[in-house]
Amino acid sequence: MTLLDTISCSSPQVNFRHDWTVEEVKDLLEQPLMDLLWQAQITHRTANPGYKVQLASLLSVKTGGCQEDCAYCAQSMHNSSDVAGQPDLDVEAVLERAKAAREVGADRFCMGWAWREIRNGKDFEVMLAMVRGVRELGLEACVTAGMLTNEQASRLAEAGLTAYNHNLDTSPEHYEKIITTRTYQERLETLQRVRSAGITICCGGIIGMGESTMDRASLLRVLATMDPHPESVPINSLVAVEGTPLEDLSSVDPLEMVRMVATARILMPFSRVRLSAGREQLGREAQILCLQAGADSIFYGDSLLTTSNPSVTVDRELLAKAGVQVNWESIINA
Ligand code: SAM
Ligand code: DTB
Ligand code: SF4
């Protein structure tokens, strides 16, 4: 029995399972908000005492020109939004940004490459050097760069990579309306390779892409029936970027984000649930409700990959107002 099993067995408040049905998940998502919040809070307080919030900074190392056709993405060559043409960042520039992120209190540094898959060669060696450098700074390192081979996963593990981000994005049923160039099954296989190499998994999705409540439940069911659960679960709400097929979709009701976060927390009690893209549209109170409902990580820093994020100053105020704990001790230039 693992430590997690012991904790969960000794606490009736925490429902630590891997056999959720989609109907059960939908019932959780749709229950009266007060009941959902209560259940999520009890789970979170029991499983992760202390309301500690992880701060993850994000940097795009290779921006735009991606072969995939993800309908939400500013970086797809299939979308007129494609922001291609910017030079890739080098190791020194990336480590400078990682150092700066550490100085304002980040715990994790996430690096993105707009690739369909990782290819061997100079670019991959550079990625490994970046991972080693970020780890030497004492930060967790996360990479998101599309599909990879078993050998590449092992080399990333050897370099000290903490987590690999590869999202499922939406339900298996809604998926083909969003991406046609890569299958759901390929995503699951990539995640399995990451897991087999001993790297933790960061896997979540996006709401606000025209999906139904059943689709949201179905995505959460896929995540919550993974064994082990993904260690990090980013919940994004669509940032509708001009020039993408989803540009005209209206932003989601902030309470829908609260429901997603709360349900993810109940389903995956010990995972980090990251309140991800779309925070600028959420407002302060909805973000605080998300933190209360069990979000224990945010993207921290003035930009995401190609779009903006609340500023460090605004986020510090938010976290202080909410009274959650962050790793402020590590701040050098506060
Ligand atoms: N190319 C890599 C891949 O897709 O695995 C890595 C980068 S990709 C931009 C990482 C994730 O960011 C996507 O899977 C998606 O969930 C999220 N994302 C990208 N664009 C977004 C947007 N406009 N709004 C919300 N989430 C977005
Ligand atoms: C994740 O789930 N969200 C982040 C990170 N993982 C890589 C990316 C959000 C991107 C938002 C749109 C943009 O900035 O291009
Ligand atoms: Fe964007 Fe990643 Fe899809 Fe490429 S694979 S279009 S970078 S989300």
Mean pLDDT of the chain: 94
For tokens 């407002």, what's the residue? 283
Catalytic status, residue 9: no
Average confidence (pLDDT) over 302-328:
92
How much is the pLDDT for 175? Answer: 98
Residue predicted with more confidence, 12 or 31: 31
205 CB within 6 A, ligand 3: no
Q: How confident is the model at residue 81 (pLDDT cuts 50, 70, 90)?
A: confident
Half-sphere exposure of 78 (CA within 13 A, CB side): 14
Catalytic status, residue 274: yes
Average confidence (pLDDT) over 112-129:
97
Distance 25 CA to ligand 1 centre (A): 24
Question: Within 6 Å (CB) of ligand 1, which residues are found?
Answer: 66, 72-73, 112, 114-115, 144-146, 166-167, 169, 206, 236, 238-239, 241, 277, 305
Catalytic status, residue 73: yes
308 CB within 6 A, ligand 2: no
Which residue type is seen at 66? C
Distance 146 CA to ligand 3 centre (A): 8
The answer to pTM > 0.85 is yes
Supply angle C-alpha 131, 134, 51, rounded to 5.
115
Torsion of CA 149, 151, 157, 158, to 10 degrees: -160
How much is the pLDDT for 159? Answer: 98
Instruction: List C-alpha distances in Å: 224 to 7, 18, 146.
Output: 18, 6, 22
Least confident of 66-70, 81-85, 195-199, 245-249: 81-85
Average confidence (pLDDT) over 125-141:
98
Catalytic status, residue 66: yes
Distance 303 CA to ligand 2 centre (A): 10
* Active-site position among 73, 102, 203, 279: 73
* Active-site position among 108, 202, 221, 279: 202
CA pair distance 268, 37, nearest whole angstrom: 15
The domains located in the chain, with CATH, are 19-322 (3.20.20.70)
Residue 315 pLDDT exceeds 50: yes
Catalytic status, residue 142: yes
Which residue type is seen at 169? D
